[in-house]
Structure 1
């Protein structure tokens, strides 16, 4: 199951990089999502990005994989709770690479909660060595995740109400 650890590490590292590259947008998104002013939001953003990088690094080192997975699960659970508090509101949550305001739906909350559960699963799985196929499987999972994120961003597809339209 090294592919799951690599997937989580890649997603965490990409998220931390996104926080650096789109800093102004992410500060605003953090402020709206958490309900704080921009200065504390910037500190929260730095803290979250640092935790993501630490978790990603730990996930790549087999003896530290459990610690990294626990940190990742806590970070993603915090994101899920912040999204749950804003469910139904329309905002740019910073969850995607593209800047777009959208309703915070149940599907977005479940995506973050699902990542927390996945990280918890990685934490309890026995350590497996990285094999040659693990990076390819992790890249495939990352592609599926990004594709699902794009599908969730579609404003009003006919199938979306079944995913938990924001109330």
Structure 2
């Protein structure tokens, strides 16, 4: 082999090694970035799930318990319901973020949690409207539905948390 061909082959091998050496760290950094984005999306969603449960519990407990109703006024209740609805909006927004990160099994669970939370918020709002209109305690069927929804959200959260940990 003459020196010219050896030089060309050497340059080609060097270029391939340089390109490969640049590609691998870039690929690794890309995977790390995706993993971090997924981790962040999961953590925020779980936090927002806690927030909606807390807000639902606070608002519905006040509306469904005769002792608590005595200490609540309309302004305080409206504020609690607004905070609950804000928490639902945050949950829904972060569920949309998870739908971008996947996978499908996690997306299905986040959608389930969001749907249950939306239903519970609706029942809580219905309970408050009933109380404001008639001054009555919330009917047992509505109260039971709210608390059942809270239990379902917590059960779904217990199901989804281990899946999320495996994926990050």
Q: Normalised by the size of structure 1, how large is the TM-score?
A: 0.36
* Structure with higher helix content: 2
